[in-house]
Amino acid sequence: MKHASLGEIAIKLGINKSKLAYYFNRGLLKPVSKVGAMNVFDADEVIKIVKKINQMKKSGLKLEDIRLSL
Amino acid sequence: MRINKDTKDNYKYVIEDPSIEMESFLYYLQGIFGYKEINKEDLWRFIDSEIVFMIRNRFKEVEIDPVIKTKLKIYEMDVAEAIAKAQREEEIRKKKNNIFQVNGINGDMYDYQRTGVQFLLNSEGRALLADSPGCGKSIQSLGYITHSGSKKNLIVCPASVKFSWESEIEKWTNLTSFVVDSSLDPRDIPYDVDCIIINYDVLKKYLIELKKHKFNTLVADESHLIKSPTAQRSKALKMLARDIQHVIFLTGTPVLSRPIEMFNMLNMIDPKVWNNYYKYAVEFCDGKQGYWGFEAKGATNLEKLHNSISKYFLRRTKEEVLSELPPKIPIEVPIELPPEDRAQYDLVESNLIQYLKNKKKTDRAIAKSLQAEKLVKLNLLREINAMGKLEVAKEKIDAIIEAGEKVLVFSNFNGPLKELYDTYEETSVMILGETPVEERGQIVKDFQTNPNKKVFIGGMKSAGVGITLTAASNVIILDYPWNPADLIQSEDRAHRVGNKAECINIYRIISKDTIDTFMQKLLKHKQDIIDKVIDGKIEEEEEKIIDQYINVLMEKYK
């Protein structure tokens, strides 16, 4: 699953899709391509970023600061 | 198990009779997508086509309502297209990331040229770049200079391309340059420019002074000219190269097929390895004692030679890089007219101005009838200009023949064409206005099929239209016609369907401070004229151009 939708990645990660959608809307996740309303993401990259977000959140950083550091 | 169109509320899809396994998957999806997206009351209901897609992917046996099938198909197509697009973009990104980026070059280089610069850097600036003519060796060497940050650079080249180098440096880089004229006092070579450009023939005269400049990089263009270790120019270059850390040789001649011609360059690139001429000649050039002495004209153990030099030898043919090249490569060759031609040109030009001034004062009313007279005088100017370019043209022709290719040479004047024909009589064919029409077909056939006929010499009007000369992959334009369409027609003689080369070098020789400069600007800024000419307004356009040039001359001599 190299390229996938947010729903597919959410399933793989076992986390709520709305969480990923929220990260996407806040600019933390960027699609690698877009056709119509369909956004496709690099699954490995998204997984990496989500792990990083989780770590940074634990250390008390706000989402906006995390976005700037990505 | 079936997914149907739902009729209740805003939900779009509903599942009938899910299996236990599917139900547990639906609970899992609910956790991921949320209760708003997928919910169970009496039946499982959900909104998103993505969920239908996931269920279908997991449970192939599930039935789909035909109404939904179309929607699902569209969704699947979007997914496939988005993934394909992502893959394509990733490939492009990867390719871009893999291809080396050259610092300090203004404009886009072809990928193979970037690779060439990378090769020069990897070889620590001691290399022989032998790409086919027209592949852009000079820009690659300039790329090396800018990327490596080399401060003091010496470019040695034939006299005919000194000004080409000057304009290439100006076009592609922010470096400063200075062309050494043979009349310059050696002590006047400036120290505060990035690139000094000098021709081989005067190198010896400036040698001592040049050594004081302590150059970082030496670029020797058309380096097959120093194939003979005993020639004066070779000796002078060798003395210079000894103290310069980076030495780059550029040649379009396939030197590998005549290995002896490479020894001198290899000796300068890596003198520790290539220091025994006779050993090299015997091993790689079939060197042996002949009737007249030691001969080394052959080629032996080429694979071993190729392997031994691969770290500092790079050659790409035009065919190899064809996919990156445009079908026509216009190459401007700026020159200065030789002193005798310059003097003659200036004299004729000032006479013309005097004539025009007189006419202007007295005969304004009959200006139209003087058009033909003006044209005759201007044409004399153009012919002198074309004659002044012959030496450079011959150098170009020799280099092209040397590279095993054919060339077309066009001019508007019989004088320079006939002189060229005298020089290349054995290896050329010629069509002028006076050539009988019934003979032309055979002349063209001869050029197209006879491997010994390397040069086609033609009048721009008489041979520039209606004939196919696809055996050539080079065109030399000696002088600009009044009508830009004639120029395009001539260039297109070789650039036609059926040309195996597919990529044609168009050399336009342009002499500085002559009518060429005007014509060159005109062509650049008025491409739309060509369209008008095609519409049948040739006469009108020619007159306009002539009048414009006369105005330029009048301004110049005000």
Contacts of B78 in chain A (CB under 8 A): 35-38
Stronger pLDDT, B152 or B481, i.e. the higher one: B152
Average pLDDT over all residues of chain B: 85
Stronger pLDDT, B556 or B426, i.e. the higher one: B426
- Indicate the Cα dihedral angle B64, B69, B71, B73, nearest 10°: 120
pLDDT above 50 (res B532): no
Nearest to A35 among B29, B32, B82 (CB): B82
For residue B87, tell me if it sits in a domain: no
Element (H, E) at A35: strand A33-35
Contacts of B36 (CB under 8 A, 6+ apart): B47
Q: Kindly state whether residues B418 and B502 are assigned to the same domain.
A: yes
| HSE, side-chain direction, 13 A CA sphere, residue B417 | 25
Q: Kindly state whether residues B276 and B357 are assigned to the same domain.
A: no
**Cross-chain residue pair A11–B37, CB shorter than 8 Å:** no
CATH of the domain at B131: 3.40.50.10810
Contacts of A3 in chain B (CB under 8 A): 82-83, 86-87
ipTM of the complex: 0.85
Q: Kindly state whether residues B24 and B132 are assigned to the same domain.
A: no
Distance CA B274, CA B267 (A): 5
Element (H, E) at B103: none
Distance CA B473, CA B457 (A): 14
Q: Which of B186-195, B297-306, B541-550 has the lowest mean pLDDT?
A: B541-550
Burial label for B341, CB within 10 Å (0-12, 13-18, 19+), is: buried
Q: Where are the extended beta strands (E) located within B251-299?
A: 288-290, 293-295
Give the closest-approach CA distance of B133 to chain A in angstroms: 41
Distance CA B112, CA B321 (A): 7
For residue B95, tell me if it sits in a domain: no
Contacts of B283 (CB under 8 A, 6+ apart): B300, B301, B304, B305
- pLDDT tens string B320-358: 776 666 677 888 888 989 888 999 999 888 888 888 777
Q: Kindly state whether residues B316 and B337 are assigned to the same domain.
A: no
Asked whether the beta carbons of B271 and B233 are under 8 A apart, the reply is no
Q: Kindly state whether residues B380 and B500 are assigned to the same domain.
A: yes
Q: Both tokens of residue B231?
A: 């020639």
**Cross-chain residue pair A15–B85, CB shorter than 8 Å:** no
Arithmetic mean of pLDDT, A52-62: 88
Contacts of B52 in chain A (CB under 8 A): none
Q: Kindly state whether residues B484 and B366 are assigned to the same domain.
A: yes
For residue B115, tell me if it sits in a domain: yes
Q: Kindly state whether residues B120 and B247 are assigned to the same domain.
A: yes
Element (H, E) at B388: none
**Domain residue limits at B19:** 2-80
pLDDT at A38: 81
- pLDDT tens string B119-164: 999 999 999 999 987 788 999 999 999 999 999 999 999 887 888 8
pLDDT at B534: 38
B543 touches chain A (CB under 8 A): no
Q: Kindly state whether residues B21 and B64 are assigned to the same domain.
A: yes
CATH of the domain at B388: 3.40.50.300
Q: Kindly state whether residues B465 and B498 are assigned to the same domain.
A: yes
Contacts of B28 in chain A (CB under 8 A): 11
pLDDT above 80 (res B17): yes
Q: Kindly state whether residues B238 and B270 are assigned to the same domain.
A: yes
Distance CA B470, CA B168 (A): 29
Distance CA B204, CA B239 (A): 10
- Of B321, B343, B375, the last residue of a domain is B321
B47 touches chain A (CB under 8 A): no
Q: Kindly state whether residues B313 and B360 are assigned to the same domain.
A: no
Give the closest-approach CA distance of B84 to chain A in angstroms: 9
Distance CA B274, CA B265 (A): 9
Q: Kindly state whether residues B266 and B412 are assigned to the same domain.
A: no
Among B227-231, B240-244, B471-475, top mean pLDDT goes to: B240-244
Stronger pLDDT, B504 or B390, i.e. the higher one: B390
For residue B88, tell me if it sits in a domain: no
DSSP assignment letter at B412? S
Q: Both tokens of residue B392?
A: 């450079």
Contacts of A39 in chain B (CB under 8 A): 82
- pLDDT tens string B23-39: 999 999 999 888 888 88
B92 touches chain A (CB under 8 A): no
Q: Both tokens of residue B238?
A: 């060798």
Name the domain count of chain B.
Answer: 3
Nearest to B33 among A7, A34, A37 (CB): A7
**Cross-strand bridge partners of residue B129:** B250, B314
pLDDT above 90 (res B375): no
